[in-house]
Amino acid sequence: MEQGESIREACIREYREETGIYLKNPKLKGIFTMVIKEQEQIVSEWMMFTFFAEQFDGENVPYSEEGKLEWHPMETIHQLPMAPGDYHILDYALKGSDIMYGTFIYTKDFELLSYRLDPS
């Protein structure tokens, strides 16, 4: 996030910078705490905010600094490689109606140790 920016503004800006697409009316779907532990010690912790949008303007760029960008059918996203907890986050973002809260605890190699989800 940039100084003075809301999480919604950051979502719109970051998405446009990385994809070329301007999101219209993104809805907050999740607030998650991500924790990295090494030998029972917390070595890193951050927050992740998940948004969902159905309307947009613009054309996506095929590549960005983040890598190759591709569209995938919603029914196949669970086949894509991602951190194990992300499957839970995406599932709720696509199917849930309110905001989901949760905590995911990983090893430094992103092995999921535990998670807790708390629907609103």
Instruction: Identify the pLDDT of residue 67.
Output: 87
pTM: 0.87
pLDDT digits (tens, 9 = 90+) for 56-75: 999 888 888 888 888 889 88
**Domain 7-119's class?**
alpha beta
Closest CA relative to residue 51, chosen from 31, 69, 65, 75: 31
Closest CA relative to residue 54, chosen from 88, 93, 108: 93
d(CA 48, CA 86): 11
